[in-house]
Amino acid sequence: MKGVRAATYTPMTNTVVLYYDQSCLVKELLSSISSFLPFQEQLQTSVKKQWITVFFSTSLLVFHWLLRKKVSLLWAYLIMNKLMAVFVLFLSRTTIKSGMMRAFKEKRMNVDTLTTASIFASLYLKQPASALVIYIMSTLSELLTELTSHKATTHLKSLLALESTYAWKVEGDVERKVHVEEVMVRDKIKVFHGERIPVDGVVVKGEGIIDESSVTGEYLPKVKTSKHTVYAGSILQEGELTVEVKGVGSSTALGRMITLMEQAYEKKAPMQQYADKVAEKMVPLSFALTIGTFIFTRNFHRALSMLVIDFVCGIKLSTATAFSAAIGRAAKKGIFIKGSEHIEQLAKSETFLFDKTGTVTEGKPYVERIHCFNHYSEEEVLMYAASIEQTSSHPIAHAIVDEAKRRHLTIAPRDEGEPLKVVVGKGIQGKTKNRVVTIGSKRYLQEQGVNVDVTSMLVDTHSIFIAINQKLVGALKIEDRIRAGMKRSLQQLRQLGMKKAVMLTGDEAVAARRVSRKVRMDSFQATMLPENKASYVSQEKKKSPTVMIGDGMNDAPALARASVGITMGGKRTDLAVEAADIIITQDNPYAIPELYQLSKRTVRTIKQNVYATLFINGMAIALGAFGVISPLAGAAIHNLATIGVVANSMKLLFKGEKQNGNPLLHFA
């Protein structure tokens, strides 16, 4: 079309993206492409298939009932036969066209070529009932596959529904309702009670309770105030917020999730590609068996059995259905898999590498213990420390102030007019209640003339020390809290087949060893730079498929090099999301073993389907070759086997809801 530079259509979401010149009139453009949009046609085709299948299945049953009752209606029998032949040719016209085109134009054969040959052979032998059975049961297996695909993309469709179309843009003292496309980064918008947030941003004014379950997977509403981040698609349950825009459209967390889901359904795993290739190669084998059977038996009926039974449908449909179901199932749990190949790789992996800060731990320091000296109490030590640290942005300062608030202590302000002395990487000194308070490392306090030798046997050297008027009064042991559930998550991974768990961190060996022992890692690697992590992942990957789990910018190179890169939690960075193969939106360690179990069950299901297809169809071919079963019975067995393996794949989508709070039962 004139003025259109490019166009992309995504079947899974029925979306069209057009890149056009500004000279194009949008209304005319939409009008001219409306006739090509297949959405309604696809829906009508699916409904027609269902009714046709029901009608002809009923007709076939009535016809066979009349024959069993020996009703002497020869004319009805002949007319029914003719009608069935006509209907089969009409209904199968698309399949016949595809099979003929592939055979004569491309000089290749596919499953449609085989189906076409079996239909014509059935009609030649005056057995239109066999051809109708082939059509009915093939259509039924296709409908099952469509049902699974529809269920699997339900979460994706719900994500699309979360996109808001308008926003209240703040312009001076006025809020104006505009289309969300008019909102730009750094604009300010207003969100009112009960509304869906249309952008990613930071709260600059107001307070509210937000439901983020549709985006982050967190089921508990969160209180959001100034400087808190909010996400597009979340709902403001109570309150009123003014938000500074940080991301709009496809650059929001919601937009990235939608893009990931669209791409995931288009990527095939090596196992799926292999299944497709094997299935295609089985088509010539079926023709060879047909010819061979006819040469040896001179019996058209036995030869026909070779045509109506094939291995293609069962293998291809069940494999595609299994991966589609697994991706949809994971998405429902807030886990976004970028492609089915990552499911296969994860199932093979036995080595898991974990980033420490933000993954194994919460990445938020807290006060674990307070040592007191010179007759000061814990509350006094904490109160003086919080008074000096209350305006600092350092994470340790936040930990001290949070602990004081947790204990409901009154934090006194610093003395007015007194300067605050900050030495980066060492400590801080200020004045409160007319007393000089010094806070920092052991070395920093020694430099300030404070005697800290009395602590050598009581406190480790990595604690934070507090002195008042040059006299040591306390030491705070600051720790990074282990993420709740991480230890149990590792135990579950071992039960599922993980052989090796290693923690990678840039921290010193002392802190790394402590965390490693607490969660029972097999080993750890400390003082690692991003390039060191990436190098270590590459070395482990040479030995066996390796999973890397991280959340920060420094984890991105390692995530990209791993067999499967997984990023987890609300603090994950954009760079980590781009580098990872799987995104877990929740701060939930149990999601890792759930995902691992799902991947193994998916691969196991596919193998079951392949073995079942080969065994059942192989037996049917043997029985048909020896004349034990008719072509009609052979067609029924083949198609029932296909329906069976597709239904087996569908179980991945429906079976295994959470029971008794046991996380491992999610995908069981």
252-290 tens-digit pLDDT: 766 666 665 555 455 554 565 656 666 666 667 777 777
Residue 399 lies in a domain: yes
What is the SS3 assignment for 592? helix
The pair of three-digit structure tokens given for residue 233, joined into one six-digit string: 């698609």
What's residue 663's pLDDT? 42
Q: Name the domain boundary from 451, 482, 513.
A: 482
With CA atoms as reference, report the closest residue to 111 among 94, 92, 98.
Answer: 98
User: What mean pLDDT is predicted for residues 218-246?
Assistant: 83
Q: What is the distance between the alpha carbons of residues 597 and 105, in angstroms, rounded to a whole number?
A: 45
Residue 588 lies in a domain: no
Number of domains in the chain: 3
What's residue 598's pLDDT? 93
Nearby residues of 265 by Cβ (< 8 Å), 6 or more positions away = 12, 152, 153, 324, 327
Q: What is the distance between the alpha carbons of residues 282 and 310, in angstroms, rounded to a whole number?
A: 7
Q: How many CB atoms lie within 10 A of CB 28?
A: 11
Count of CA atoms in the C-beta half-sphere (13 A) of 77: 13
What's residue 219's pLDDT? 47
Q: Which residue has the higher pLDDT, 601 or 268?
A: 601
What's residue 11's pLDDT? 56
Count of CA atoms in the C-beta half-sphere (13 A) of 231: 23
Q: What is the distance between the alpha carbons of residues 199 and 633, in angstroms, rounded to a whole number?
A: 59
With CA atoms as reference, report the closest residue to 344 among 278, 275, 269.
Answer: 269
What's residue 581's pLDDT? 86
Q: What is the distance between the alpha carbons of residues 160 and 214, in angstroms, rounded to a whole number?
A: 11
Residue 243 lies in a domain: yes
β-sheet bridge partners, residue 206: 241
pLDDT 10s digits, 627-663: 788 777 777 787 788 888 888 888 887 765 443 334 4
| pLDDT > 70? residue 239 | yes
Q: What is the distance between the alpha carbons of residues 246 and 187, in angstroms, rounded to a whole number?
A: 8
User: What mean pLDDT is predicted for residues 576-588?
Assistant: 80
* Contact call for residues 334 and 213 (beta carbons, < 8 A): no
- For residue 425, the domain's CATH number is 3.40.1110.10
Q: Name the domain boundary from 197, 215, 248.
A: 248
pLDDT 10s digits, 305-351: 677 676 767 777 788 788 888 888 888 787 888 878 889 899 999 99
Q: Name the domain boundary from 204, 225, 248.
A: 248
**What is the residue range of 18's domain?**
4-37
- Please calculate the CA angle 232-236-241 and round it to the nearest 5 degrees: 90
β-sheet bridge partners, residue 547: 352, 564
| pLDDT > 90? residue 468 | yes
Residue 575 lies in a domain: no
With CA atoms as reference, report the closest residue to 342 among 645, 96, 567, 133.
Answer: 567
Burial class (CB in 10 A: 0-12, 13-18, 19+), 552: buried
What's residue 202's pLDDT? 93
User: What mean pLDDT is predicted for residues 236-245?
Assistant: 89
pLDDT 10s digits, 20-31: 777 666 667 776
- For residue 215, the domain's CATH number is 2.70.150.10
What's residue 276's pLDDT? 60
Question: Which range, 453-457, 478-482, 634-638, has the best average confidence (pLDDT)?
Answer: 478-482
User: What mean pLDDT is predicted for residues 411-436?
Assistant: 86
User: What mean pLDDT is predicted for residues 394-409?
Assistant: 89
User: What mean pLDDT is predicted for residues 619-625?
Assistant: 83
What's residue 439's pLDDT? 93
Residue 418 lies in a domain: yes
Residue 492 lies in a domain: no
pLDDT 10s digits, 81-109: 677 777 777 777 777 787 777 667 766 66
Q: What is the phi/psi pair of residue 571, to 5°?
A: -95, 5
Q: For the chain, what is the mean pLDDT?
A: 78
Percent of the chain residues past pLDDT 70, beyond the cut: 71
User: What mean pLDDT is predicted for residues 510-518?
Assistant: 87
What's residue 664's pLDDT? 43
pLDDT 10s digits, 347-378: 999 999 998 887 888 877 888 889 898 889 99
Nearby residues of 124 by Cβ (< 8 Å), 6 or more positions away = 300
Residue 222 lies in a domain: yes
Can you spell out the DSSP letters for 456-486? Answer: TTTS-TTSEEEEETTEEEEEEEEEEEEPTTH
Residue 666 lies in a domain: no
What's residue 497's pLDDT? 93
Q: Describe the crossing of helices 128-152 and 312-332 by its angle, rounded to 10 degrees.
A: 20
What's residue 4's pLDDT? 80
pLDDT 10s digits, 609-618: 888 988 888 8
